[in-house]
A and B are shown apart, each in its own frame.
Chain A
Amino acid sequence: MQSFFRSIILLAGLFFYASSHAADALPPLTTADNLGPKVEQPIEFPHNRHAGLRDPADAGDPSVPAKGGMEINCMYCHTGARRSAVAAIPPLQKCIGCHQTINSVRETPRIQKLFEYWEAKKAIPWKKVHDLPDFVRFNHERHIQRFIFAQGKPVQEACGYCHGDVRAMTVARRSKPLSMGWCATCHQKDHPVDAVSGKTSHGPNDCWQCHK
């Protein structure tokens, strides 16, 4: 009987200990394998080419295709990010604007496809990769204003917190869970208000900040 009670107490203790830890644990900060599902896009857009780091071997000769990326600022194309709730996919004209002068890749299949869309004046039906549920209101502008403009974080770090290391991707893939708990963990942390004052504040905790 005693041993029975002892083992019961031990088991119960273990259970409560384990579950209180489980209940206190943070949700995972990335998806299991760091990669969301692969999304088929009409054109396999190489983010690494555009936003990736420069390869020192690239001499800057425009006629020779570069091996590395071009370190283009995310917001050069996703112009909505700093002024709208949605980051926005660049209009086709923006792609063409550069590519009509880049002859070195003009005949590659992807660019040819791009020009086909342009000539037909048809918008490219990109698929959403980071698609939050429709009842969620995520505001890019607030986050960009806070972390890039007020706090002075590097663009790719700030964007990368939710979008992962896009510099290394071709077609963008989701690498963070984007679950509610994941958002909340960051909102609970204190972040510097700006680059100088040393004041901090945490993200809003109201349901209606994100739920619409």
Chain B
Amino acid sequence: MGKDIREDISWAKINEDVLRSLESPRRLYWVILLVAMLAFSVGIGCEVYQYNVGMGVANLDNPHVWGLYIATFIFWIGMSHSGTLLSAILHLMHADWRKPIYRFAEAMTTFSLMTAGLFVMVHLGRLWQFYYSLPYPNERALWPNFQSPLLWDAMAIFTYLSSSVIFLFIGMIPDLAICRDHLHPGWRKKLYTLLALGWEGTDRQWRNFRITYLTVACFLIPLAVSVHSIVASDFAMSQQPGWHVTSFPPYFVAGALYSGCAAIVTLFIILRYVFKFEEYMTLPILKKTVRLTFAIAMVWTYLNAVEFAAVWYSHDQAAKDVLIQKATGPYAPFWWMMIFCGSVVPLTLAFKRFQTNIPVLFAVSLLLNLGMWLERWMIVAPTFSHGYYPWTWDHNQWPSLIQWGMVFGSFGWFALLFMVFCKVFPSVSMYEVKEMVYHRRLASESQAAAKGAH
């Protein structure tokens, strides 16, 4: 395996390479941005229509009261987990190969949370009364229902989102100072000056910075786990067959990490190509990420099997029926597709020659994400179609174009936020790459010295 990063890159070159990504964009960038905006406006259009006419346009019904909005909501929440995995967990574990790629992963966390939050909104029948679900003293003297997992959900997401933003921001401070120092006067310079909080790189600042960064990282990890556990409770705490499963929280967390890692691989490849970050987002790092993805894929597959087994041997006939329904009913093509994409496709990642094959990885990562999206849909929809009460079984209700439009639009929204972020903020952490290069050089020098001494 090659080196994660060249040890002889000069610090000035690092600055120059990364800052170049903030300069006037290439045409490709504009194309991506335009496509993202178009996609997003499709979503906006759908929502405006739905808001004015009623939820009926989504072609939901009784019993199919939830649809793609909830499924996609879980999907985006899941996406958010890998940023935390890379930036916080791996940070605490001193895995320094994360350094060139954690920044965009962390941004991905923030933006996917923002996207997920939108789905909670568009799902509501009365979006204009959304504030009823916020706990604040009001003239109605009413509080939301603290027993509802949906409320925990809202709180967990808000906490996680705000923490993620803080974490992202704190981690960027030294880089913002670099930006401030290297840029020509203009609005950007003012922005960086403001955000850099007077960073000068003194020892005292570095010490406080390290402590704060570590503290927030520690804080974020339980949050990340809890968020998806709570999303899982939306289902596990209900009584419905197929949802009332004890293993849902870990299953959801595993699924979340899985889809997040897959998304990181996708974005890794895109960024590497668009911003020409080949020096920093190197193939060995990609390989490590891919191996991590593979490991999580297997964990997910295992937990999936556990869930099926738990249902199968539970003597809960209704839950069993739902499982059979998933495998043989109208949702069967999607369900098998999910199994294929989620458990079979990742097996390619076990082969070394694919671990650095960019076209293959790009395709695989997209398939993995498709699989994970299908997983969420397969959690939500089949239970509605085949619940406890046979009279209301309904196998023939499919999401309308409005629902699909909003799902589509959410990818546009995410891409839009992400692309704008990459142009405004350094998507590779300069100071940490410098650290990494420095540490690696020290290590190899000391190795070489030890060899020489021998």
- CB proximity to B under 8 Å, residues A11-29: 19, 22-25, 27
A90 at the interface (CB under 8 A from B): no
B122-147 near A? 1/0 per residue, CB < 8 Å:
00000000000000111111100000
12 A-B contacts (beta carbon < 8 Å) = A1-B211, A24-B137, A27-B141, A179-B140, A180-B140, A180-B141, A180-B142, A181-B141, A181-B142, A182-B139, A184-B140, A184-B141
- The SS class assigned to the B binding surface is loop
What is the CA–CA distance of A40 and B208 in the complex, to the nearest angstrom? 66
What is the CA–CA distance of A1 and B138 in the complex, to the nearest angstrom? 37
User: Cβ of B142: which chain A residues have Cβ within 8 Å of it?
Assistant: 180-181
B434 to chain A, nearest CB (A): 25
Q: How many residues of B contact A (CB 8 A)?
A: 9
Does the CB pair A185–B137 fall under 8 Å? no
Q: Which of A22, A23, A24, A181 contacts B139 (CB 8 A)?
A: A181
User: Cβ of B138: which chain A residues have Cβ within 8 Å of it?
Assistant: 181
> Of residues B136, B138, B140, B141, which shows the largest number of chain A Cβ atoms within 10 Å of its Cβ?
B141
Does the CB pair B137–A1 fall under 8 Å? no
Does the CB pair A179–B137 fall under 8 Å? no
What is the CA–CA distance of A185 and B141 in the complex, to the nearest angstrom? 8
What is the CA–CA distance of A25 and B141 in the complex, to the nearest angstrom? 9
A177 at the interface (CB under 8 A from B): yes
B277-292 near A? 1/0 per residue, CB < 8 Å:
0000000000000000
What is the CA–CA distance of A29 and B227 in the complex, to the nearest angstrom? 40
Q: Quick one: closest A residue to B207, CB to CB?
A: A1
Does the CB pair A25–B137 fall under 8 Å? yes
Does the CB pair B137–A22 fall under 8 Å? yes
A8 to chain B, nearest CB (A): 11
Q: How many residues of A contact B (CB 8 A)?
A: 14
User: Cβ of A179: which chain B residues have Cβ within 8 Å of it?
Assistant: 139-140
User: Cβ of A23: which chain B residues have Cβ within 8 Å of it?
Assistant: 136-137
A17 to chain B, nearest CB (A): 14
User: Cβ of B137: which chain A residues have Cβ within 8 Å of it?
Assistant: 19, 22-25
B139 to chain A, nearest CB (A): 4
User: Cβ of B140: which chain A residues have Cβ within 8 Å of it?
Assistant: 179-181, 184
User: Cβ of B141: which chain A residues have Cβ within 8 Å of it?
Assistant: 27, 180-181, 184-185
Does the CB pair B208–A180 fall under 8 Å? no
What is the CA–CA distance of A181 and B208 in the complex, to the nearest angstrom? 47
A138 to chain B, nearest CB (A): 15
What is the CA–CA distance of A182 and B142 in the complex, to the nearest angstrom? 11
Q: Quick one: closest A residue to B143, CB to CB?
A: A23
B203 to chain A, nearest CB (A): 13
- CB proximity to A under 8 Å, residues B105-164: 136-142
- CB proximity to B under 8 Å, residues A166-212: 177, 179-182, 184-185
User: Cβ of A182: which chain B residues have Cβ within 8 Å of it?
Assistant: 139
A65 to chain B, nearest CB (A): 43
Does the CB pair B208–A177 fall under 8 Å? no
User: Cβ of A22: which chain B residues have Cβ within 8 Å of it?
Assistant: 137
User: Cβ of A24: which chain B residues have Cβ within 8 Å of it?
Assistant: 137
A205 to chain B, nearest CB (A): 11
User: Cβ of A25: which chain B residues have Cβ within 8 Å of it?
Assistant: 137
User: Cβ of A184: which chain B residues have Cβ within 8 Å of it?
Assistant: 140-141
A177 to chain B, nearest CB (A): 7
A-B CB proximity, top 5 nearest: A181-B141, A180-B140, A23-B137, A179-B139, A184-B141
What is the CA–CA distance of A157 and B291 in the complex, to the nearest angstrom? 78
Q: Quick one: closest A residue to B204, CB to CB?
A: A1
Give me 14 other A-B pairs in contact (C-beta within 8 A), A27-B139, A27-B141, A185-B141 excluded.
A1-B208, A22-B137, A24-B137, A25-B137, A177-B139, A179-B140, A180-B139, A180-B140, A180-B141, A180-B142, A181-B139, A181-B140, A181-B142, A182-B139
What is the CA–CA distance of A19 and B138 in the complex, to the nearest angstrom? 12
- CB proximity to A under 8 Å, residues B177-222: 208, 211
What is the CA–CA distance of A1 and B139 in the complex, to the nearest angstrom? 41
What is the CA–CA distance of A27 and B138 in the complex, to the nearest angstrom? 8
B158 to chain A, nearest CB (A): 16
A146-180 near B? 1/0 per residue, CB < 8 Å:
00000000000000000000000000000001011
